[in-house]
Homo-oligomer: A and B are copies of this chain.
Amino acid sequence: MPQELTIALDAMGGDNAPACVLRGAAMALVRFPGVRFQIFGDERQIAPLLEQVSMLKPRSEIIHTDQFIRGDDKPSAAVRQGKQSSMRLAIDAVKEGRAHGVVSAGNTGALMAMSKIVLRTLAGINRPAIAALFPTMRGESVMLDLGANVECDAQDLLNFAIMGDAFARAVLGLSHPKLGILNVGSEDEKGHEEVKGAALKLRECGLDLNFHGFIEGMDIAQGLVDVVVTDGFTGNVALKTAEGTARLIRTYLRDAFNSSPVAKLGAFFAQGALATVKEKLDDRKRNGAMFLGLNGIVVKSHGSADAYSFCNAIGVAVELASHNINQKILQEIKLSSASGEPVANAS
């Protein structure tokens, strides 16, 4: 890490807050000993827990507040009425330069709405996107948008490609990530106007991007590309469909291995092998969805995250902050608009 990083934590967001937030932070400190934390939330709950993870104590500061955003709060209400909430104060810390990024396991809609209002979008970006990693035959890839924007035009998709490229460089350490646009076929004439327009823009934007072309749903898990670009509706459905399918197959396997004494014997001998598969499919490893396109690093942890899972979300924030991802995105956006492509407000 080029500098000492401070991460703001919304200690009150998610099903297992604040305990898993603090234990996750302690785990993250083992991986990133130079990180400091600002912990936003109810000091009466946080202080005793901090005593239990004593290594975390000297590296963190509690900023007390009584106000929290609940999981079922409407984003608009959270923005209006939650100005003293742990989530909002944590975002404010990024805005005011006191923290290099924020991590929350709270209400996704509220986190996005507050982040947009407080941090604003990067110059040239109309809409922020949610990006996350998923497992493939070749390792891991990035997909975006995963649900921030249910409707996107060609320009939005071009911007997502630029942001996904920067994300893959920072988090996956790739020097020249391969980009693909999710579509219903790989041929140029397939799909709606938005994807066709985005493909054209990507080919003509003048940036040194490794654009593969259109990919299909089947190609996501194959790892055909490193960055899957799509609108938030399709991306959300694709991600959750993949999760649901993995869950279905796990259930099939569990039932099958419990179906007879011989099958149980097989499961006994295969337990090491099955544990490897389980580990590969473990979503906790890939916890931490980044809100890309904002003037600041905002990472959303799964609401049901345990400590290990939350630690990984902190890891994403640290990687992105230490790679100065937003500077890289700004540079690329500027280059793409210099090449004659209007960037913001184009459609």
Contact = CB atoms under 8 A, between A and B. Distances in A.
Interface of A: 135-137, 147, 150-151, 182, 184, 191-192, 216-222, 230, 232-234, 236-249, 251-253, 256-257, 259-260, 262-263, 265-274, 276-277, 280-281
A240 B256 contact: no
Contacts of A277: 249, 252-253, 256
Q: 4 shortest A-B CB distances, which residue pairs?
A: A266-B270, A217-B240, A266-B269, A256-B273
The main secondary structure of chain A at its interface with chain B is helix
Given A233-B184, A238-B237, A137 B248 contact: yes
A271 to B, nearest CB: 7
B232 A184 contact: yes
Given A220-B241, A267-B270, A270-B266, A151 B256 contact: no
Contact of A151 (B192, B222, B251, B267): B192
Given A150-B192, A265-B269, A241 B238 contact: yes
Given A233-B191, A234-B237, A272-B263, A244 B219 contact: yes
Contacts of A184: 147, 150, 232-233, 236-237
A268 B262 CA distance: 10
Contacts of A137: 248, 251
A182 B244 CA distance: 13
Contacts of A272: 260, 262-263
Contact of A263 (B234, B241, B270): B270
A237 B150 contact: no
Nearest to A268: B266
A192 B218 CA distance: 25
9 contacts: A150-B191, A217-B240, A221-B244, A222-B247, A249-B281, A256-B276, A262-B270, A266-B268, A266-B273
Contacts of A252: 276-277, 280-281
Nearest to A237: B217
A221 B192 contact: no
Contacts of A219: 244
B244 A246 contact: no
A274 B274 CA distance: 12
Residue of A218, A243, A247 ringed by the most chain B CB atoms within 10 A: A218
A118 to B, nearest CB: 23
Contacts of A260: 272-273
A220 B244 contact: yes
Contact of A222 (B222, B244, B263): B244
Contacts of A248: 135-137, 221-222
A221 B233 contact: no
